[in-house]
Chain A
């Protein structure tokens, strides 16, 4: 059984769509945080929006013209990842899709329910209802790309993107599928914006990120970004630190690495102390895309993973998102992406240089 490799990425972010725009924006320190235009009730607030995209240009299928933003973002990110990995069509036959979400199509959910409450049963739209079901974006994506393998939607907070990768890796290793697309998406919505603002969480953002994951023995005609060398997820509501430490140990063990082999950690700055304790060093460089993009929950995790893949591939550590750059080695070989949530949920991914 060969190792798993990332062969395609699909970022759809407030700082750019596709790897070139995204990477150039990061290198130039371009921020996607601006005054919100999509939510009239929050027009004085700041956040990261996906700008006007001619969706039909990328997904011309008429069946998806009325789908929710989150479905469109999902499909677009998946298309970018597929185009990037450039698999031959025959190799898509044994493909899986794992979608990770925190909220789903909240704008359609809100519209549907508002109509039900204010105007009655006769007014509700079956389309709004169908797209409100949490696996709508996964289902639309499977239809759009003709994917007949396992198609899953996993629900969770920031760590769910890594759990989705873990699930895909499990299925590839078990031989259930040859390849998998893992995608995370979220859309701005006034209800969630209001809630998280009241909880002090900002700036919020929206978008999607997709990865194309496959076995190095079955990939054809593509040079991967990196290995997926380690991954672990744990929950311990009574002890986040223990859960976090366990994920680090498990992922390092899986990658056959020592803590000193980790060159860069991608994580929220607030995790720096805990990371330092777990890795027995306070000097490791730490980076995060969130300062440029805002927080889109599991999507931000996926963007951090995509950035890490680009850093490893291009050998450049962008100053706009990384602190303590002076501690970086000449060659970045291993990046650890760490995520935690409230309630003791933690996950860790390690990407390593290929070959």
Chain B
């Protein structure tokens, strides 16, 4: 028997800043956090801008006894702290409790990796600092969270490219509803690194202008950094402890294109399966808003439009759709988690954020793209995530209590 799973805490860091209020305020207002990159010299690249989380430098740590932590660990720990702090009881209540930590990342502590590689080139293998290596490993950020908050239980780190964050939330959702845990901390994160930036530029995937998802003249994505964390609880467990319930997760689906390393299957067929599975999982509810993956690349947006149309049929043309990536950038492993949080915001605040920079409709993306924030009685939201190597995931959030 499946149990019901609710969201009781949220933590978010993006180019817009740290915390829920500032992020929702700016995202709803259609403000872009994309600026010329300052953490490395981007002048030599065709695309020079990104969504750096400049308001965030480092978090305080008490229990992680390391000489240095990667920025990825700082981002993740800070977002987890915000989310745990929100769950009515403060987070020491979770100490040594059986909790599942499920997070997604694309490259983990790559900033430490970059520094280590540089030291190897400059100083040689024997003199490069070993202290850089531990947090380079992509599972150590999760271990640092367990240590900092003295959590017991288990952790899982997904690295499924840009779908990682959604996969991590989906895994936590399933683990709770099948009775393996009562509480989960889940989400995703990634940092802005030159390693990644150069790579996406080498693929000619980064826009030299503006990221404009679903626009006919779109010419690429813009990278971002940040973290998004949700606290999930089994419904009865949350009710028993009188938790403030933010919303419910009602469906999750995933699939794989098995088509190409960077390009999605242009038919959108397998991506649509992920959406269909999520819809079926939730009992095929009416969808009020779709928070699209919407990278702003030619191929993703076209394939996603087809996938949405295939999965939702005629209603696809009516449902409001937007992507927040032109505002905060593509956070890769953190994208699905941050977008899940924005989906939840749209339910809480009864408003849908705009798809900025959208000027010229593309007939190949025949969706109801909203260019201004729309206030409406948003009850159920679909959030899509699609990654390299055709990793597809879709998740559904619904208001709680559900009066349907």
Contacts and interface: CB of A to CB of B under 8 A. Distances in A.
Question: Do these two chains interact?
Answer: yes
A113 B201 contact: no
Contacts of A191: 116-117, 120, 125
Interface residues of B, number: 66
A133 B387 CA distance: 11
B112 interface: no
Contacts of A104: 138
A268 B125 CA distance: 29
B10 interface: no
Interface in A107-149: 109-110, 112-114, 116-118, 120-121, 124-126, 129-130, 132-136, 138-140, 142-143, 145-149
B118 A117 contact: yes
Contacts of A138: 160, 389
A323 to B, nearest CB: 30
Contacts of B108: 134, 155
Interface in B257-300: 257-262, 270, 273
B325 to A, nearest CB: 18
Contact of A139 (B133, B154, B261): B261
Given A114-B121, A149-B256, A238-B150, A154 B157 contact: yes
Contacts of B194: 116
A130 B388 contact: yes
Given A156-B139, A190-B125, A167 B156 contact: yes
Interface string B125-140: 1101010010001110
B160 A153 contact: yes
Nearest to B132: A195
A132 B178 CA distance: 34
Interface stretch (A217-225, A229-237, A303-311, A326-334): A229-237
Nearest to A147: B258
A160 interface: yes
B389 A136 contact: yes
B178 A170 contact: yes
A150 B255 contact: yes
Given A152-B160, A154-B159, A199-B130, A126 B152 contact: no
Contacts of B171: 167
A116 B195 contact: yes
Contacts of B130: 195, 198-199
Contacts of A113: 113-114, 117, 195
A135 B147 contact: no
Contacts of B195: 112-113, 116, 132
Contacts of A140: 261, 389
Interface in B181-240: 194-195, 198-199, 201-203
A235 B152 contact: yes
B125 A102 contact: no
A94 B33 CA distance: 42
Contacts of B45: 121
B159 A135 contact: yes
A148 B159 contact: no
A195 B45 CA distance: 32
B224 to A, nearest CB: 17
Given A136-B261, A156-B157, A174-B174, A151 B391 contact: yes
A41 interface: yes
**Most chain A CB atoms below 10 A, which of B44, B154, B161:** B154
Contact of A121 (B44, B117, B175, B256): B44
Given A142-B256, A151-B391, A120 B133 contact: no
A120 B178 CA distance: 50
A194 interface: yes
B256 A126 contact: no
Contacts of A233: 154
B5 to A, nearest CB: 13
Contacts of A154: 156-159
A151 B256 CA distance: 6
Contacts of A143: 258-261, 389-390
Contacts of A228: none
A125 B108 CA distance: 21
**Most chain A CB atoms below 10 A, which of B44, B106, B157:** B157
Contacts of B133: 195
A204 to B, nearest CB: 14
Contacts of A56: none
A72 to B, nearest CB: 15
Given A150-B254, A153-B158, 9 more contacts: A103-B137, A110-B117, A133-B159, A134-B108, A135-B160, A153-B159, A155-B105, A238-B150, A243-B152
14 contacts: A114-B117, A121-B44, A130-B388, A142-B258, A150-B255, A154-B158, A155-B108, A157-B139, A163-B154, A198-B126, A233-B154, A239-B152, A243-B152, A343-B146
CB-CB nearest 7 A-B residue pairs: A139-B389, A129-B199, A134-B159, A151-B256, A194-B125, A126-B202, A236-B152
Interface of B: 44-45, 96, 101, 105-108, 113-114, 116-118, 120-121, 125-126, 128, 130, 133, 137-139, 143, 146-147, 150, 152-161, 167, 171, 174-175, 178, 180, 194-195, 198-199, 201-203, 254-262, 270, 273, 387-391
